[in-house]
Amino acid sequence: MNIKLKFYNTLTRKKEEFIPKTKNPTMYSCGPTVYSYAHIGNLRAYIFMDSIRRVLKFNGYKIKGVMNITDVGHLTDDGDDGEDKMAKKAAEEKKTPWQIADEVTKIFMRDIGLLNIDTPEVVAKATNHIDDMLKFVVGLTQKGHAYETSDGIYFDVSTFNDYGKLSGQKGKLAEQISGARVNINSEKKNPQDFALWKKAPKNHIMQWPSPWGQGFPGWHIECSAIAKKFLGAAFDIHTGGVDHIPIHHENEIAQSEALDGCNAGANFWMHNEFMQVNGGKMSKSLGNTYTLTDLADKGISPLAFRYFCLNTHYRKALNFTFDGVNGAATAYKRLLNLLAEHKDTNKACDLTKYKEEFITAINDDINIPLAIGVLWTMVKESPLSKDVFDLAVEFDKVLGLDLEKAEKEKIADIEIPENIKNLLSKRTEARKNKDFKASDILRNELAKLGWAVKDTANGQEITKI
Ligand code: AMP
Ligand code: ZN
């Protein structure tokens, strides 16, 4: 069975066969900005990164992944001006930016662990790589792609012909690139020129020595510099959310290709669509930027949230609602219950077609929702068999839902409502009297109310459907 692995490439706007540049594919993922806790939308981006990693591994690849931790900057107005977000938060909380970054990074690493996100091989803090960034910036100035102003070093986009190719705005230099705000900075040669390095005002907390005096890196340079350091000038995949396409990633491409030639940077650019809340934007002012801890407080486990995310393809917007995530939690529990039943039964089963369908789905641009559909069909349509359980556990290398831990819920572990208890005791009575017709009617009645009953040597066992 040889099912080609295809990914959608934002750069070419089509699905392309994935052929890595070297034996072990290389992937860079834009990591979190650690001045505030990651919200569930951010976490969607890392579940997406994780799915790519798992699909590559399922296909037999050994992957080298790198993710940065933005523990310096960036600036409040998303351009090159405004306050440093890290410094602002530190001042608000009367802590140093390093303390804030440390605390938030720890919680982020805990959260991605709880979500079964396969951690990239390298997790690199920006502040540990200032030298690599400076080397990059010096290289760009030497090649004539950057110029100095009174407040920093800027990339001159007019020196890079392909500027705008990722967002499909190539050649529209004179106009505003969609999404970018024009900075009223009279020293800039073009509105889209962006800061590679900023000169630090005296009271700026995070600053480092540079050929241009004390300063700090611009927003985009850390990703290009860290990717190059660990993966080489050219690598296979770059991930991030769609918000990064028009500015951050466009600028990364400009920096990398200007310095190291047209093959530099990523071969495949892959982006996850956004998560919304109740059909709208997530925002602090609406109080709907939930964290994983907020969900846990409402009884939603990290893996139930993961199951919820996996059921929407990464290139589709995902609308978060509590009804939706609760529905996903119920479905996930039901899946575990059904798998537990398969686990306990020894019966050989030919499942080849499910395996092929599963691989076809995941290799077609990581279609995890379709793959989960295949899993459900297998679990529901096959006779009870441990083979089903074993194949589900194999699929779980991609899904990461702890399916191997599926255990039947014990009667004692679940709360059984009074009406269900009554029906159960009526059924016990019917079976004692060998009234199997009445027993079957009661079983159907229980099923309609959402409870599955099974007769075992120890009597009736009940599970929530
Ligand atoms: P940030 O910490 O803001 O740099 O974001 C970390 C990652 O989350 C980036 O890849 C963003 O593109 C992504 N991201 C931010 N907001 C959302 C959202 N609402 N839905 C999905 N991804 C998001
Ligand atoms: Zn980045």
Average pLDDT by stretches of 10, the chain with 465 residues: 93 97 96 94 98 98 97 63 72 85 96 98 98 98 98 96 91 51 71 94 90 95 98 98 96 98 97 96 84 94 98 98 96 95 89 98 98 98 96 98 83 70 87 87 86 76 76
End-to-end CA separation in angstroms for the chain: 35
29, 30, 37, 42: residue to mutate for ligand 1 pocket, most atoms within 8 A of CB? 42
| pTM for the structure as a whole | 0.86
Angle of helix 130-142 relative to helix 221-231, nearest 10 degrees, comes to 100
Atom of ligand 1 nearest to the CA of 244: 12
What distance in Å separates the CA atoms of residue 191 and residue 185, rounded to the nearest whole number? 8
Q: What is the model's pLDDT at position 287?
A: 81
What distance in Å separates the CA atoms of residue 146 and residue 193, rounded to the nearest whole number? 9
How far, in Å, from the CA of 31 to the mean position of ligand 2? 7
Tell whether ligand 1 has an atom less than 6 A from the beta carbon of residue 243.
yes
Joined together, the tokens standing for residue 91 give 């001042």
Joined together, the tokens standing for residue 137 give 């910036």
48, 125, 243, 313: residue to mutate for ligand 1 pocket, most atoms within 8 A of CB? 243
Atom of ligand 1 nearest to the CA of 276: 19
CA angle (210, 82, 148) in 5-degree steps: 35
Tell whether ligand 1 has an atom less than 6 A from the beta carbon of residue 42.
yes
What distance in Å separates the CA atoms of residue 430 and residue 438, rounded to the nearest whole number? 6
What distance in Å separates the CA atoms of residue 224 and residue 324, rounded to the nearest whole number? 38
Tell whether ligand 1 has an atom less than 6 A from the beta carbon of residue 33.
yes
CA angle (367, 29, 181) in 5-degree steps: 105
Q: Which residues of 244-283 are buried (b: 16+ CB within 10 A; e: fewer)?
A: bbbbbbbbbbbbbbbbbeeebbbbbbbbbbbbbbeeeebe
Q: What is the model's pLDDT at position 180?
A: 46
Tell whether ligand 1 has an atom less than 6 A from the beta carbon of residue 191.
no
What sign does the CA torsion over 148, 150, 154, 158 have? negative
Question: Do residues 319 and 273 touch, judged by C-beta distance below 8 A?
Answer: no
Atom of ligand 1 nearest to the CA of 281: 19
Atom of ligand 1 nearest to the CA of 241: 12
Q: What is the model's pLDDT at position 463?
A: 77
Tell whether ligand 1 has an atom less than 6 A from the beta carbon of residue 267.
no
Q: What is the model's pLDDT at position 280?
A: 93
* Residues near ligand 2 ion, CB 5 Å cutoff: 30, 223
Q: What is the model's pLDDT at position 271?
A: 98
Tell whether ligand 1 has an atom less than 6 A from the beta carbon of residue 217.
no
**How far from chain centre, in Å, is Cα 256?**
24
Q: What is the model's pLDDT at position 80?
A: 61
Tell whether ligand 1 has an atom less than 6 A from the beta carbon of residue 29.
no
Q: Which amino acid is at 18?
A: F
Output the residue whose Cα is nearest ligand 1's atom 18.
41
What distance in Å separates the CA atoms of residue 19 and residue 323, rounded to the nearest whole number? 41
How far, in Å, from the CA of 288 to the mean position of ligand 2? 24
Q: Which long-range contacts (CB under 8 A, 24 or more apart) does 369-374 make?
A: 369/310, 369/311, 369/312, 369/313, 371/395, 371/398, 371/399, 372/310, 372/311, 372/399
How far, in Å, from the CA of 243 to the mean position of ligand 2? 11
